[in-house]
Amino acid sequence: MAKQIPATPMLDQLESGPWPSFVTGLKRLAKEKDMMADLLGQLETSYETRKGYWKGGTVGVYGYGAGVIPRFTELKDENDQPLFPDAAEFHTLRVQPPAGMHYTSDLLRSLCDTWDKYGSGLIAFHGQSGDIMFQGIKTENVQPAFDELNEKGFDLGGAGPALRTSMSCVGAARCEMSCYDEARALRTVINNNLDDMHRPALPYKFKFKFSGCPNDCVNAIQRSDFATIGTWRDNIQVNEQLIQDWVAKHGKTELVNQVINMCPTKAIRLVPKDKVAQGDGYSVAAVDAQDCMEIDNHNCVRCMHCLNVIPGGLLPGKDKGVTILIGGKGVLKIGATMGTVIIPFMKLESDEDFEKLNELARNVLDFFAENALEHERTGEMIDRIGLVNFLEGIGIDVDPNMILEPRSNPYVRTDGWDEEVAKWNERKAAAKAG
């Protein structure tokens, strides 16, 4: 043990400065682990030559086809022998964290124990998909390391063309903006579809993400194929005392400039007490002796800004649920895309509601599995086949909330117009009848 740590003059420079240094951590591990001494050697080479030296391969655990990211060194001498042999295999185990990424200190230590025993001692909390990344393990140790983690209640995440590990925000655990039980939604959808995570058979990756409100702290809209965003459809709740406390502290000018003027749909006004709107759809709070803040909830788009500025003074309504957007993704084929609204609102409270979410998720996954081309994400599939074909495929009715504006291009066949109008009228009548 205790192999000589190679000289790392470039990496050494990353040990100075106030931010915690990963290089210091690597060096600490290298004192006891030959693998990390050689890893430092390879990384330093990358810094010198500005090139990466890892290639993938096939390493897995019994019963699964995904969850291990294999890495083999490409840094070899003239005889094709690794320059840094103890880091020639440096695989990662992707492990799903508890939803919301909660840990006790004992759990952290227990995870460290396993990784000290079998792996490099290097762990990332967390990868960009939310996995705990246990980085650096030789092929022969992969199975026992996984077995031990698995016995502790942990399971591998996704990799390749598969359902991927999911993320949810802190949500209901500690946030007054939370509009549903994010952790339950995540576990419902992921844990009922694990076969698609552990045995990759989809056209390409598929990601779910869960944010408790439109602040979208886990970036579901841009970074997931299926974004579940908490929202509400009744009036913003008002705590008048907290609003008055806020105004007393910040002044009315700030209320006007930072709350009222920044409302994207001009749904908030400052009005004299005797001119306040009456009736359904308005939230009203006296801000001082003269004026009230009046919110037109039918014109509110639930952007969260005023709630963010006056925490507790304004809260989400009581009729909570979720908006679901499909097709967010990063670059590759067609460039980055945002998710598109396909469910403007659904309740997510009862067991039946969660079952409905699960059915929708399965339905979208099945449609994706059957209709997407190889290496095509959901957003790209919708781009290719059109939103209407996708909606018909999964059995969802069209809704004006799905678009920003109707088509401006007249090149369209409208032979089915009358039938479509009849469908719309039927749905309106059915909704009215309740």
Partner 1 sequence: MAELRQPIESGAPDPKPYMHPVMVKNYGKWVFHSHPRPGVLYHRAESGDEIWTVKAGTQRQMDTYTIRKLAEIADKYGDGYVRFTTRSNIEYMVADEKKVEPLIKALTEAGFPVGGTANSVSMVAHTQGWLHCDIPGTDASGVVKALMDELYDEFVKCEMPNRVKLSTSCCEINCGGQADIAVIVQHTKPPKINHDLVANVCERPAVVARCPVAAIRPALVNGKPSLEVDEKKCICCGACYPPCPPMQINDPEHSKIAIWVGGKNSNARSRPTFHKLVAAGLPNNPPRWPEVSAVVKKILSVYKADARPWERMRDWIDRIGWPRFFEKTGLPFTKYHIDDWKGHRVTFNASAHIRF
Least gap, CB of 51 to partner 1 (angstroms): 6
- Considering only CA atoms, which of 1, 148, 128, 27 is closest in space to residue 69? 128
Residue in 3, 6, 25, 252 binding partner 1, rule: CB under 8 A: 25
Residue in 139, 141, 244, 258 binding partner 1, rule: CB under 8 A: 258
What is the identity of the amino acid at 134? Answer: F
* End-to-end CA, the chain: 74
Please report whether residue 332 would count as binding partner 1 according to CB under 8 A: yes
Least gap, CB of 74 to partner 1 (angstroms): 9
- Cβ atoms 379, 330 nearer than 8 A: no
Please report whether residue 115 would count as binding partner 1 according to CB under 8 A: yes
Question: Is the backbone peptide bond immediately before 126 cis, with ω within 30 degrees of 0?
Answer: yes
Site size with partner 1, rule: CB under 8 A: 131
Comparing CB distances to partner 1, the nearer of 20 and 434 is 20
Least gap, CB of 222 to partner 1 (angstroms): 5
Least gap, CB of 263 to partner 1 (angstroms): 8
Q: Which of residues 141-200 bind partner 1 (CB under 8 A)?
A: 146-147, 150-151, 153-156, 165-167, 169-170, 172-176, 178, 181, 183, 186-187, 190-191, 194, 197-198
Q: Which of residues 27-86 bind partner 1 (CB under 8 A)?
A: 28-29, 39, 43, 46-47, 49-56, 61-64, 69, 71
Question: CA–CA separation, 434 vs 431, rounded Å?
Answer: 5
Instruction: Tell me how crowded residue 200 is: count the other CB atoms within 10 A of its CB.
Output: 18
Residue 304: partners with Cβ closer than 8 Å, 6 or more residues away: 177, 213, 214, 215
Look up tokens 């930072």; give the residue.
Answer: 258
Residue in 305, 343, 348, 360 binding partner 1, rule: CB under 8 A: 305
Sign of the four-CA dihedral 95, 96, 102, 104: negative
Least gap, CB of 390 to partner 1 (angstroms): 18
Please report whether residue 312 would count as binding partner 1 according to CB under 8 A: yes
Please report whether residue 333 would count as binding partner 1 according to CB under 8 A: yes
What is the identity of the amino acid at 262? Answer: M
Beta strands in 165-319 (DSSP E): 167-168, 208-211, 226-232, 237-238, 268-272, 282-286, 291-296, 314-315
Please report whether residue 112 would count as binding partner 1 according to CB under 8 A: yes
